[in-house]
Amino acid sequence: MKYYIKTFGCQMNVNDSEKMAGILQTLGYTPTENWEEADVILVNTCSVREKPDQKVLSALGEFKKVKKHNPNAVIGVCGCLAQRAGYEIYQKAPFIDMVFGTTNIHHLPNLLEEAKSGNKAIEILEEIDENENLLDRFPTVRENKYTAFVTVIRGCDKKCTYCIVPTTRGRERSRRIGDILREVQYLVEDGVKEIHLIGQNVTAYGKDFGDVKFWELLKAVAEVDGVERIRFTTGHPKDLDEDTIKVMADLPQVCEALHLPIQAGSDRILQAMDRGYTQKEYLQKIELLKKYIPNIALSTDIIVGFPGETYEDYLETVKVIKEVEYDQVFAFKYSPRPGTPAADLPMTESPEELSKRLNDLINLQKDITFKKNLEYQDKIVEILVEEINQENKLVGRTRTNKLVYAEGSPEYLGKLVDVKIEKVNRFSLEGSIIGGD
Ligand code: 5AD
Ligand code: SF4
């Protein structure tokens, strides 16, 4: 019996898919890279913009063909779009056998049993399942042996007016620190060197308990023997405080890289988005980060064309990009999401104008990214060798999250090694290994 999982969306979805793979393997299934030979196909969906929504329906149309030669194959849909519009998807694609939401993934064994006996297994909960943490007990099946995601907080209490996530993922629920540390310990024993703490808003970690701070979690994870690197995503500018930044700077395991979404540069638009900070306040956080961690690599998310965004507002975003000099920018056109506060606001600019703004911004950032990469020429950087590619190059990332291809012996796989950078590309660096642990 084989399974195939198609994952859309963010790291939370990736981690959920790793857990679902763990559940399926516990049930005796083995993975396949070819959906046509799968007995169970799961589509883990994203709902953050309209495009991913559409991609799900076209993927389902393709996967439907599996039933031609394997009528008993089970097709399931889960994740954020399933949580938001599971019944609608089922109406549009009635051949699917299973639909479940974001907080009842641990019910997969029962749902699968039901679907296999020929019934439609549809379970979308309106309230968060109080036993959702049972999911954490299942093993994660990871593609990468040496780095691992660990979910530390689920949901989001922010009310950004464009965002569907509070609807699809619910309110903030932090995991108990002891449970997180046990998972980290297990991962380290399994060979993991780099722990990537994830959540929709990790910097809000512990707020729902009232007595734990995110930086305390960082310190505790750093104390686990064998954790060589720590990353975390996503932080919210409002919740990132100086105490956290100091701890990031002090802990040698915390990598010099941070994704800090700004979304827009104009104060008027930031307010309409209900982001809870002004451009100046955001830039003050960036200044603090650069003060404590001078070589930090920064990245951000930007939404172009929020309703009411004028050309002058857009120029404020451009200004921030030029001033911060991010290593990477993820920019998208605004996409109205049904049910969000901004959904009914009228669009004030033409789609062509918005496409132009987005393109100009992406082109501007391409040059900045290249310029930042050029700073690495002839420098020695530490990488964690994550794989060996088909050309026998070692592939890894710097602490600042730059992709590096290096000449060197395969014995360095899974090790932290020093690489001298000899060539700089737009999206990667190349070099040779000069020593390792
Ligand atoms: N339209 C466009 N982009 C969005 N994002 C979230 N909601 C929307 C939307 N309605 C972007 C934000 C967020 C990232 C994960 O997706 O930039 O940080
Ligand atoms: Fe997409 Fe957001 Fe859901 Fe992640 S949490 S899958 S980005 S809608």
pLDDT digits (tens, 9 = 90+) for 13-32: 999 999 999 999 999 999 99
State yes or no: cis peptide before 234, omega within 30 of 0.
Answer: yes
pLDDT digits (tens, 9 = 90+) for 67-76: 999 999 999 9
Q: Which of 83, 102, 154, 165 to mutate to test the pocket of ligand 2 (most atoms within 8 A of CB)?
A: 165
Residue the block writes with tokens 């399933």: 82
For residue 125, count CB atoms less than 10 angstroms from its CB and return exposed for 0-12, middle for 13-18, buried for 19 or more. middle
Ligand 2: distance of its center to the CA of 48 in Å? 5
Distance CA 380, CA 436 (A): 12
Helix orientation angle between 214-222 and 177-189, rounded to the nearest 10 degrees: 30
DSSP H or E stretch at residue 25: helix 11-26
- Percent of the chain residues past pLDDT 90, beyond the cut: 96
- Average of pLDDT values for 37-49? 96
- Average of pLDDT values for 416-426? 96
Residue the block writes with tokens 């036993």: 131
Q: How far is CA 307 from the centre of its chain?
A: 26
Ligand nearest to the CA of 340: 1
- Average of pLDDT values for 46-66? 91
Contact predicate 202/238, CB 8 Å? no
Q: Which CATH architecture describes the domain 132-374?
A: Alpha-Beta Horseshoe (3.80)
Q: pTM higher than 0.85, yes or no? A: yes
Q: For the CA atoms of the chain, what is the radius of gyration?
A: 22
Predicted confidence at residue 436, as pLDDT, reads 60
Ligand 1 binding residues, C-beta < 6 A: 48-49, 162-163, 261, 263, 301, 303, 332, 334-335, 337
Other beta carbons less than 10 A from residue 1's beta carbon: 12
Sheet containing 257-259, strands listed edge to edge, beginning at the edge strand earlier in sequence: 257-259, 297-304, 328-333
Which atom of ligand 2 is found nearest the CA of 48? 8
Which atom of ligand 1 is found nearest the CA of 10? 15
Q: Which of 332, 344, 347 to mutate to test the pocket of ligand 1 (most atoms within 8 A of CB)?
A: 332
Which atom of ligand 1 is found nearest the CA of 333? 2
CA nearest to 152, candidates 195, 101, 106, 108: 195
Predicted confidence at residue 6, as pLDDT, reads 97
Domain spans, the chain: 2-123, 132-374, 380-436
Q: Which of 162, 329, 358 to mutate to test the pocket of ligand 1 (most atoms within 8 A of CB)?
A: 162
Which atom of ligand 2 is found nearest the CA of 164? 8
Predicted confidence at residue 51, as pLDDT, reads 82
For residue 62, what are the contacts with CB-CB under 8 A and spacing of at least 6?
A: 35
Domain pair 2-123 / 380-436, same fold: no
pLDDT digits (tens, 9 = 90+) for 175-219: 999 999 999 999 999 999 999 999 999 999 999 988 799 999 999
Ligand 2 binding residues, C-beta < 6 A: 9-10, 12-13, 46-48, 79-80, 164-165, 168-169, 200
Nearest CA to ligand 2 atom 7: 10
Which atom of ligand 1 is found nearest the CA of 302? 17
Ligand 2: distance of its center to the CA of 166 in Å? 10
> What value does the mean pLDDT of the chain take?
96
Q: Are strands 74-79 and 394-398 parallel, antiparallel or unpaired?
A: unpaired
DSSP code at position 175: P
Residue the block writes with tokens 């969306």: 9
Confidence of residue 52 (pLDDT cuts 50, 70, 90): confident
Ligand 1: distance of its center to the CA of 245 in Å? 25
Assign domain 2-123 to a CATH class.
alpha beta
Q: Are strands 380-388 and 416-424 parallel, antiparallel or unpaired?
A: antiparallel
Nearest CA to ligand 1 atom 7: 163
3-class state of residue 12 by DSSP = helix
Which atom of ligand 2 is found nearest the CA of 45? 6
Ligand 1: distance of its center to the CA of 262 in Å? 11
Please provide the distance, in angstroms rounded to a whole number, between the alpha carbons at the two ends of the chain.
41
Q: In CATH, which of 1.10.490.10, 2.40.50.140, 3.40.50.300, 3.40.250.10 is domain 380-436?
A: 2.40.50.140
249-255 contacts, C-beta under 8 A, 24 or more apart: 249/292, 249/293, 251/218, 251/219, 251/222, 252/222, 253/221, 253/222, 253/227, 253/228, 253/229, 254/218, 254/222, 254/230, 255/229, 255/230, 255/231, 255/399, 255/400, 255/401
Distance CA 340, CA 257 (A): 31
